[in-house]
Structure formats: structure tokens, C-alpha cells
Structure 1
Amino acid sequence: MVRNSAVKGGFSKYQEGIGKRGEEIQHINPRRSTNQDLTNQEVNKIIQLKPNSFPVGIDVENPFMYPISEAQLPTAECPTGTIPILCNNRQENISTKNTDAIVTSQQQEVAGIKYFDDIYGTQATINIYEPMVKHHWDLSGSWIQIENGPDVIGAGSWVSPSFSGDSFARFHISWRDEVQNKSCNNHKCPGFVQVSSSVVLGGRIQPVSVYNGPQYAIKFLIFKDPKTENWWLVYGEEKTAIGYWPSSQFSYMKEMASKALWGGYVQGPTASEDSPQMGSGHFASEGYGKAAFVRDIQVVNDDNMRVIPNPVKADPGSTNRRKYTYEYYGHNPNGMHVYYGGPGSYS
């Protein structure tokens, strides 16, 4: 999660297994409660299984002429009525207190586009790389995020050895709400209601992009269900639902978000001084195939329509242009686009 400038419920283990990428998975039934698994969450007795409607927009034939393939979110085959919980990396051993500290109390640099408006959701396609990180506590993310005051919702890819136990690009979600009053990730604390029986939060994303080689990306959509007011996360061209954040846990973002961010960020105890790579590890000016991008950026308005962001309200930039740059390359009928990233302190 960029600093502001789960099934919700007690779970009982259903069974254990191995995910499609060899990672150890627990299959959890969100409707059963032992108050022993995960974070002793209370059962969310009424689960919304799918959005009542999706934001409407015009998707034209993509004028982005460069070849891009879809990266695959991590999945596991779970029995009906259960969800996959990753349990074979450091995520299960890191407390929510420490996770919160990673987000809120360490050095951070950001490059991409900030956007200010009344926002009811956002859709964007994120280029997936595995940037190099210098230190154990470093994190480098490719990210989309919406927020209002202290309330924040975000999703994307992280490389974070301290959180994941390795240096792979992994799929993560993160949020901050009035109920928890701290930053939360994946299933480490209550707040996210997962409805997908296959997507593994914290699992490895594959394939990843190669500098001057094949490029892979994932489309994410975060939006507010007009009927329930829950904030949904879906992905891919088919808009597959992963889950939602109940609106009841937000105060400032109960109605709408006021800010969005698309791009990359790094953080860690020395992230501003001895910095990890961001994006592809190369500057934005190198362009397609060499610099990371976020493309087809859209926002959802109060009519539940996906629209192109107003360029006047967009603020592309970088907090440290010596180490990370951005190239805002405008928009087309599918939305805004931006290149971002850099080598950090790597030569």
C-alpha cells in the first residue's frame, strides 16, 4: 500500500493440498468458525457471492500495438465452498502489527500518476516484472490504489522478501479502514471477503515480463457495488470476481474515494537511500519492452460508468527523479497510460 500524502469470519480448515505452482495451500470454509484459524475473525454470516452489476464502459479494439500477454494470477483447485489460503511462506508468520509497520513507518518512493476526483472505482492493466530488491525488508510494488482520508484499498504485485520469504512477484491486496485502524494485507486480518475458490492471495504471479523480451500484464478493476456499496476486486478480461471489502468498515470511503494512484512504489528502512529497483529496473524513457507500464487506466463515475480520467485532474510524477522516472504518454479511447520505474541504487 502506498502511504497516504479475507474472508471476513472465523475459519475452519477444510483440508490441505498443493497449489498449481507447488505451494502449500489450506482450503478454508468461510462459513464455519472455530476462531482458531488465521486471525480469529468473526464470521461474516451473509456473503455477497458476486457483484450486483459491473461498471459499464466502452472497450474498443486496443490501439496499444505492442504484443502483450496476460500474466496469470496464482490459483489452486479448492473444494466447493472453500477458498485457498497460502501457508508455506513467511506470510503466516508475520503479525499484522509488523505488516502495518512495513507500510506506515518506513521510507517510501513513488512514481506514476496520482488522480484527484470523486472516484467510485478504477480499472487498469499492470505490467508485471520482478524488480531486484537490495535488502531483506525492501518492498517493490506495481500497484493500483484508491483512497479517501485514512481509508485505502489497493491491489497488484509485490516483491518483498520479508513478507513472502522470496524475491518472486506475488499477488497482494492491501487496505486500511476505520475498524482496524491499521494497514492489512491479504488474509492477515479481517476485512476482505474472498469469494473466489481458486485465486491465492500472496501466491506467485507467472509468467513475468522480461527486459527487451516478452511482456505480461494483468487487468484489475476495483469498484463500488451501487446496491450494496461494497468495494469489489475483479481481474482479467472476463472480470472474474476475487472478493470484496464490506462498506461498513469504511467511514471516509463509505460513499466514494477522492484519490487514485497508478504506478510503482518502493519502501523499506533505507528505501530512499539504498534503494531497490522499481518496475523493470529501468527508467521510463526507455519505453515499451524495457520500462514498466500501467495502461488502459479508467475511473468509475457516480453513474457506474467507466470513463477516461480527466487529464486536468491527473498529477503524474516521481518522488525521486534521480532514481525513478515517469513518462506520461497520454490517453486513447481505452484510457490513460504511463511508463514508470528505475534502477534505484543499482548501477
Structure 2
Amino acid sequence: MKTNSCLEISSIISILVLFSLLFSPIFSSMNFREENETTMAGNKSKNMKLINDHLRKINKPFVKSIKSPDGDIIDCVLFHLQPAFDLPELKNKISVMVQPELPKEDYHKTGTNPEIKQLWSLKGESCPNGTIPIKRTSAGDILKTNSIPKFGKKYSRKDTQPTPGHEHSIGYVREGEFYGAKAILNVWKPNVTGLDFSLSQIWVVADVPTRPVNTIEVGWHVYPSANSDNLPRLFALWTPDGYRSGCYNMLCPGFVQTNSKVCLGASIKPISTYNGKQYEIALLVWKDPNSKDWWLRVGTEVIGFWPAELFTDLHDRANRIDYGGEVYSATYSGTHTSTQMGSGHFQDEGYKKAAFARNLEMVDQDNYLREVSNLNIFVEKPNCYGINNGHSDAWGNYIFFGGPGYNPNCL
């Protein structure tokens, strides 16, 4: 996004902001009661004030709002009003916006990048130039976490170590200097139970044993307790301190979006079908050699970036890259969850039947995309969720992964 594309409309900003404030998504106590069909006893007014204060921080004044068929409301927010610029140290990013330098890659070898399609824009809806799409947050969304400080965050895990509730099927590379990662993932709609989530993603990680992990994670997930549906949604997550801070998408200040076409947190459609057509998304995270910020591209659309200032160890580079799936069971109690990973089928079923991540690549210090080497695989409970890996001329390095969760061999 060019700097002047955001600033050309500065002459009418005051009018747009005044107009949008009339429709700003701030919830009154009455609206809250109607939405949730209940009343809050005791400290109701205090809780409502905290919730509304938080909504004012993340739901910005908008120029246009779009009602998606899945019930989402997508707000088109002026570029310079997005949450990231609530951080004083990032305000200078508004006036120095330049296009990043894309990693150099051999398109003949890797093929084309599949485009992402999202439900909110399938009928031609879009956000105007100079604005960016942000999924609106409701009071009900915050209430699901039972804690404003936990809202928008991912529960902590000890990376790939066996942790109650977290299970992974991943391919990973370590012991190197990495400046980004790329993969193409097929999109599924796994069955997810209770408060669980299921995802397919890439991790770009700086993991120093004596300090909290820094990570950027992007992919798709099904997370009913956070989104009130079983739809696969595009997500991005960051943390500089082992998941204590940072957040999903734009639910806190941090990620700077520059794209008006793709909405983080919005549902993806169409979806792969078992033994049928496969739908994919191409994800690339890389460190721009000029700005030193970490950028995100989905398909051919450059979405935005995480400023280097957000991180400690990841400020410089990553030392690990992971690709694959994860299931989190919030009610882990010894009996294995029936939440599915990927398609819900094991990796041995292969193409059109199992989840995959293909064309696994990394970005080197010279900003070149290279095939990953020395790819290892890891899984906690192979009878619940599994993984295998391989290599071909068309797919480069790839993994198949997933499974049904609870079954006679997975207790």
C-alpha cells in the first residue's frame, strides 16, 4: 500500500469520522441484555463499563460496514485509525509506509499461489481505498472468555512438548537462522467439540531457553467458543512473551493492516471436501530486509505487518519454523477429545482425504525462498492424530497430517 493512498483522503477524514461515530459499535447495557437474553447481577454496571471500555478500544469508527452471510459485521476503518496506532511507538509507521521487498522465488518451480476467498466479500462487497476491513467485536465475544485480559489471546503451551490439552502434528526445522516461512495448506471444516479449537498453520518462532518464546502464527482455525460457529477462519497470532501478551488478528494493538481486500478473522469459503475438490490458501511470513518488520502475504495479497518493535528475540530472526496442525482441548480430563484435526482423517489416506501443507519453504538472510532441509516430524499421540512427510517435484517438501481424535486406539 502506498503512503499517499492512505493520505489522499485526509481532507474528508473529519467528516467521515463524525459520520462513522454515529454508527460506532459501542454497546449499551440495554443492547447487551437483549443480545444475551439475561441480566447481570451485583456488579453488572461495573462489568458493563469494563466491557464497553474495551469495545471502544478495539472497535474503531468506520466508514462502511458490511454484513456477512455468516453473521459477521466487517467494519471498513480508516487506515490511520486501526488499533496498532494506539501504541505511541508505532505512530511513526503511518507516514513512512512503503511496500516491502518480496522474497525472491522460483515461480516455475513452486507454481502459482492460490487466492483466498472469504464469505464476506464473495458477492462483490469490498472496503473503500484508504480503509481496511476489521471484524467487529461484540460484548458477547468478550463474555465467552470470562476475562477481558484473556480476550483475544491463545492459551499458553510449551511449544512441541506434550502438554495436557494441546496436541500437535507438525513438521519442523531448527538450528538455523530463518527470516520467514511459506506453505500452501488445504482448508477443511473439522468437527470441534466444547471449548476446543482445531487449526492448520505455520509457526515462525524465536525460542531461547532462558526467555519467553516469541512467535508469529498464521493459518486457518475452527474455534466455535470464540466465533460461535464451526467455520474455518483465517487467523494471525503474535506474542513476544510466551502468549502472555499479543493476540489474534487485530484484537489488540500490534499488527498493522495495509490491505483492503482480506479480513483477518473472517471465514473462508469454499472448503475442501473428502475425496473431492481441494481448496487451498498460500501463506508467507517474512522479514522485510529494508524495514526489518515481519510481513504477511495471503495468496498474492500483501496483508500487513508486525513491527519489529513488538518483539524481543524475534526482533532479529527466527530459529525454528513449524508447519502442521494443532488441537487444543480446554476440558482435558484424561479422556481424549473427539475434536478432529484437519479433515478428521489420518495422514495415510493421502491426497483429497487428509490435510496437507505443501511447498514448505523458508526465507534466508538474503531474502530468498528456499526449500526447507532436514525436515523433522513430531506428534504426541499418533493413534489420535498422525503425520508423515515426503518430497516431490511439484510439491517440494510436504506433510500430510490429522486424525479423528477419540477412537478405539486413542483413549
Corresponding position of 1:72: 117
Shift of 1:178: 4.9
Distance 1:39 1:297, change over 3 A: same
Shift of 1:98: 4.0
Which of 190, 215, 223 is equivalent to 2:253? 190
Q: Is the 8 A contact 2:115 2:298 kept in 1?
A: no
Q: Is the 8 A contact 2:233 2:265 kept in 1?
A: yes
Corresponding position of 2:169: 111
Q: Take 1:184 and 1:106, find their aligned partners in 2: how far apart are those partners?
A: 22
Corresponding position of 2:77: 28
Q: Take 2:242 and 2:274, find their aligned partners in 1: how far apart are those partners?
A: 42
CA displacement, residues 308-332 of structure 1 (integer Å, 9 cap, x when unaligned):
1112xx2112111010111102253
In our comparison, the structure showing a higher alpha carbon Rg is: 2
Which of 297, 303, 307 is equivalent to 1:246? 307
Shift of 1:96: 4.8
| 1:87 and 2:150 aligned | no
Corresponding position of 2:24: none
| 1:315 and 2:376 aligned | yes
| 1:142 and 2:200 aligned | yes
Give the unaligned 5+ runs of structure 2: 1-56, 158-162, 208-212
Answer 1 or 2: which has greater helix percent: 2
Which of 44, 47, 71 is equivalent to 2:91? 44
| 1:100 and 2:171 aligned | no
Which of 156, 161, 169 is equivalent to 2:219? 156
| Mapping of residues 1-347 of structure 1, within 5 Å | 12-19=60-67, 21=69, 23-32=72-81, 42=88, 44-47=91-94, 49-60=97-108, 70-73=115-118, 75=121, 76-87=125-136, 91=141, 95-100=148-153, 102-104=155-157, 107-116=165-174, 117-135=176-194, 137-149=195-207, 150-178=213-241, 181-236=244-299, 239-270=300-331, 273-311=336-374, 314-332=375-393, 335-345=396-406
SS state at 1:31 partner: helix
Distance 1:21 1:198, change over 3 A: farther
CA displacement, residues 108-167 of structure 1 (integer Å, 9 cap, x when unaligned):
0000201112110011101100100121x1000011111102110011101001111111
SS state at 1:280 partner: coil
- Higher RCO (C-alpha under 8 Å, 6+ residues apart): 1
Q: Take 1:213 and 1:241, find their aligned partners in 2: how far apart are those partners?
A: 29
Shift of 1:225: 0.3
Q: TM-score, normalised by structure 2?
A: 0.72
Q: Is the 8 A contact 1:280 1:291 kept in 2?
A: yes
Answer 1 or 2: which has greater strand percent: 1
Q: Is the 8 A contact 1:78 1:197 kept in 2?
A: yes
Q: Take 2:383 and 2:357, find their aligned partners in 1: how far apart are those partners?
A: 21
Q: Take 1:123 and 1:161, find their aligned partners in 2: how far apart are those partners?
A: 27
Q: Is the 8 A contact 2:154 2:247 kept in 1?
A: no
CA displacement, residues 227-272 of structure 1 (integer Å, 9 cap, x when unaligned):
1100000011xx3110100001111011110011111100022357
Q: Is the 8 A contact 1:307 1:335 kept in 2?
A: no
Percentage of identical aligned residues: 29
